[in-house]
Chains A and B, each alone.
Chain A
Amino acid sequence: MTPSTDPPLLAVEPGYRHVLRAQTAISWLPLVIGAIIADQILLRDTPFHGIPSIIVPLLALLAITLIPQRKYSRLRYRLTDRMLQSLHGWMFHTDTMVPFVRVQHLDVVRGPLDKAFGTASLIVHTAGTHNSIVTVAGLAPDRAAEIRDIIREHVRSDFE
Chain B
Amino acid sequence: MSSSDQAVGVAERLHPLYLVTGLGRGLRQMAGGYAAIGYFAATGSWGTALLLLAGIAVVLTIGVFLYWKRFEYRVGANEIRIDSGILSRTHRSIPFDRIQDVDISQGPVARLLGLARVAFETGASAGDKSDDGALAAISLARAAEIRELVRARRGAAVASADLTETEAAPIFAMDPPRVFLAGLFNFSLAVIAALFGATQTVGDVAGLDFFTRRFWRQALEAGSPIADFVLANQIAAGIAGTVLLLITGLVTGVARTVLRDFRFRLDRTPAGLRRRRGLLTLTDVTLPIKRTHAAIIGSGPLRNRFGWSDLKLQSLGKDEGKKGDHLVAPLARESEIAAILAQLNWRPVDPSSDWQRTSPAFAWGFTGALFLLLIPAGIQLAINPLIGLAAVAFLTVLVAFRWLSWRRTRFALDGDRLLIRSGWWRRRLILLPLANIQSVDLTENIFSRRFGLASLAIGVASGRGFSAHGIAAIPAPTARALRTSLLARFA
Q: Which residues of A line the B interface, CB within 8 A? A: 103-112, 114-115, 125-129, 132-133, 145-146, 148-149, 152, 155-156, 158-160
Task: Verify A104–B155 contact, CB threshold 8 A.
Answer: no
Task: Verify A105–B124 contact, CB threshold 8 A.
Answer: yes
Residues of A within 8 A of B133 (CB): 105
Q: Which of A107, A159, A160 contacts B92 (CB 8 A)?
A: A107
Q: Which of B89, B91, B97 contacts A156 (CB 8 A)?
A: B97
Considering the chains assembled together, what is the distance between the CA atoms of A126 and B97 in angstroms?
A: 13
Considering the chains assembled together, what is the distance between the CA atoms of A157 and B155 in angstroms?
A: 12
Instruction: For the complex formed, measure the closest distance between the CB of A137 and the CB atoms of chain B, giving whole angstroms.
Output: 13
Residues of B within 8 A of A156 (CB): 78, 95-97
Considering the chains assembled together, what is the distance between the CA atoms of A10 and B107 in angstroms?
A: 48
Also in contact, A149 and B1, with CB within 8 A (given A129-B465, A132-B125, A159-B97): yes
Considering the chains assembled together, what is the distance between the CA atoms of A132 and B88 in angstroms?
A: 21
Task: Verify A160–B87 contact, CB threshold 8 A.
Answer: no
Instruction: For the complex formed, measure the closest distance between the CB of A146 and the CB atoms of chain B, giving whole angstroms.
Output: 6
* Contacts beyond the supplied A108-B91, A128-B461: 7 A-B pairs with Cβ under 8 Å: A110-B89, A133-B124, A145-B1, A148-B93, A149-B1, A152-B93, A156-B78
Considering the chains assembled together, what is the distance between the CA atoms of A128 and B3 in angstroms?
A: 31
CB-CB contacts below 8 Å: B427-464 with A: 461-463
Instruction: For the complex formed, measure the closest distance between the CB of A144 and the CB atoms of chain B, giving whole angstroms.
Output: 9
Task: Verify B98–A155 contact, CB threshold 8 A.
Answer: yes
Task: Verify A106–B92 contact, CB threshold 8 A.
Answer: yes
Interface residues on B, range: 20 to 34
Tell me which of B3, B94, B124, B126 has the highest count of chain A C-beta atoms within 10 A of its own C-beta.
B124
Task: Verify B90–A109 contact, CB threshold 8 A.
Answer: yes
Instruction: For the complex formed, measure the closest distance between the CB of A9 and the CB atoms of chain B, giving whole angstroms.
Output: 23
**Does B127 touch A at the CB level, under 8 Å?**
yes
Considering the chains assembled together, what is the distance between the CA atoms of A104 and B461 in angstroms?
A: 13
**Does B106 touch A at the CB level, under 8 Å?**
no
**Chain A, Cβ-Cβ closest to B126:** A125
**Does B123 touch A at the CB level, under 8 Å?**
yes
Instruction: For the complex formed, measure the closest distance between the CB of A3 and the CB atoms of chain B, giving whole angstroms.
Output: 20
Q: Which of A108, A112, A149 contacts B90 (CB 8 A)?
A: A108
Considering the chains assembled together, what is the distance between the CA atoms of A10 and B290 in angstroms?
A: 39
Tell me which of B92, B98, B132 has the highest count of chain A C-beta atoms within 10 A of its own C-beta.
B98
Residues of B within 8 A of A110 (CB): 88-90
